[in-house]
A and B are shown apart, each in its own frame.
Chain A
Amino acid sequence: KAGVTQTPRYLIKTRGQQVTLSCSPISGHRSVSWYQQTPGQGLQFLFEYFSETQRNKGNFPGRFSGRQFSNSRSEMNVSTLELGDSALYLCASSLVGWETQYFGPGTRLLVL
């Protein structure tokens, strides 16, 4: 079974731009969660989607948004990028959300 895939793997943007990251979960998994990982704050939960609906949300500003499609693939969008948004963005999938999560390799975003 293929694992969680994330595209792109690396991204460089400038302040004020917006960015869209993509996550394809393991086949059959309906829950997708997104996390931000930085050296200073560690791993922080952004949001979780299940059956195309946002089910949980962490403490991030509205500039961070996401969506999930009918095939369970998910995208997250960050608008009006700030330098502090530079991070590794990880997505994780699971069957229905409360069991083992399987993480992708992440997308490393650098904001200049």
Chain B
Amino acid sequence: DAKTTQPNSMESNEEEPVHLPCNHSTISGTDYIHWYRQLPSQGPEYVIHGLTSNVNNRMASLAIAEDRKSSTLILHRATLRDAAVYYCILKRCNQFYFGTGTSLTVIP
């Protein structure tokens, strides 16, 4: 089964980098790693995704371990608006397998 494991919660100071870890030891070769975040009373929104190589976009960076059994979402400078639940997801055959999510608190 496609399963991801994340810490329940993390804290970060505002304007500091945040590293959100995710373990996905059952990942298969064609599974994509996606990250979404969910703000209160909203649906999840896309953050970033990757397959094997590290990825960067305007929101974040995704670092994928060489064996692909873990990954880390990096927010370079946390802002108060980044406070949300971050989900690490495996996409397998057009189906998303969500982890339990990490609730990120950003401290001013």
9 tightest Cβ-Cβ pairs between the two chains A and B: A103-B43, A43-B98, A97-B94, A100-B46, A103-B44, A56-B95, A42-B100, A90-B43, A98-B94
Number of interface residues of A (CB under 8 A): 23
**B24 lies within 8 A of chain A by Cβ:** no
CA distance A43 to B46 in the complex (A): 15
Q: How large is the interface on B (under 10, 10 to 19, 20 to 34, 35 or more residues)?
A: 10 to 19
25 A-B residue pairings within 8 Å (CB atoms): A33-B96, A35-B98, A42-B100, A42-B101, A43-B44, A43-B87, A43-B98, A45-B95, A45-B96, A45-B97, A48-B95, A56-B94, A56-B95, A58-B95, A90-B44, A97-B94, A100-B46, A101-B46, A101-B96, A102-B45, A102-B46, A103-B45, A105-B42, A105-B43, A106-B43
The count of A-to-B residue pairs whose CB atoms sit within 8 angstroms is: 48
**B19 lies within 8 A of chain A by Cβ:** no
